[in-house]
Amino acid sequence: MSAAAGMSAIQAALMSALIFTGAGQMMLNNLMLAAATPLTLVASVAAISSRFALYGTSMAHELIARKESLAKSLLACVTLTEEAFGISITMLEEDGRWEAKETIQLSCVLIATWTLANFVGAAVGERLSMDISIAAFAMTTLFVYLLAAQMWDVGHVQVGRRAVAAVASMVSLVMLRLCAVGSMSVLFAAIIGILASLLVDVVGGERA
């Protein structure tokens, strides 16, 4: 798609190495194909990628709690990908040996793989045809596992909060998609889930 949008293989690889956001890059290529202005491109991709602020906030909370050094923490945050966030946040909670260093290593491997794959894709272009639905579903199963991992080895109150956030997030995602909100649905649904959990917490606290 990057090649069709007018990028060279080097430009496509550089983009992957610099911004490393799958959904954002797909949108960027789509908008380039539609001859959008640079301002539209930047605003749209920045908007769809704003969910990284949520991941960054959650990761920052864990890194600060563990008193990781400034340099390692910043590097762990700036190299964060969706998949690295999922695995790292689970490991930081579960495995006492997992540190910012492991998060950085994982992110670097993921970014390098992503960059290489995009370079090959842009270089080979449309001559390469493959069914990516299986790989895409494997990612879905990874997110299912990470969601399940959020529910174990924590207290009942915490499980309750997280379950409320997850269910509200899923329901609102479906409603947002049905209302054709589109690519911002994930961010909005996650925020609604967080707010629902907060609301239940506040109401529960008042009753107690």
Partner 1 sequence: MSWSRYALIMVPLVLAMLVYRAGPYVLLRGCALSSRVQGVLDVIPAAAFAALVANDLFGQANVYTIGIALVTFAVAWWRRSMILSVCVGTALYIVCLALSLI
Q: Where are the beta strands (DSSP E) in the chain?
A: none
Q: Does 69 bind partner 1 (CB under 8 A)?
A: no
In the complex, the smallest distance separating the C-beta of residue 102 from partner 1, rounded to whole angstroms, is 15
Instruction: Give yes or no for residue 8 binding partner 1 (CB under 8 A).
Output: yes
- Find the part of the chain contacting partner 1 (CB under 8 A) among 112-120, 122-130, 172-180: 172-180
**Part in contact with partner 1 (CB under 8 A); list of ranges 17-25, 110-118, 119-127:** 17-25
* DSSP-based helix, strand, coil % in the chain, nearest 5: 80, 0, 20
Helix (H) or strand (E) holding 174: helix 156-178
Nearest distance from C-beta of residue 125 to partner 1, angstroms:
15
Those residues whose C-beta lies under 8 Å from the C-beta of residue 125, and which sit 6 or more positions away, are 3, 4
The residue among 117 and 177 lying less far from partner 1, judged by its C-beta, is 177
The three-point CA angle 61-64-68 to 5° equals 135
Which of positions 43-62 make contact with partner 1 (CB under 8 A)?
45-46, 49-61
User: Considering the complex, what minimum distance in angstroms separates the CB of residue 90 from partner 1?
Assistant: 8
Distance CA(154)–CA(162), nearest Å, equals 10
When binding is defined by CB under 8 A, the residue of 73, 103, 115, 118 that contacts partner 1 is 73
Q: State in angstroms the smallest separation of the CB of 120 from partner 1.
A: 19
115 binds partner 1 (CB under 8 A): no
CA distance 157 to 34: 49
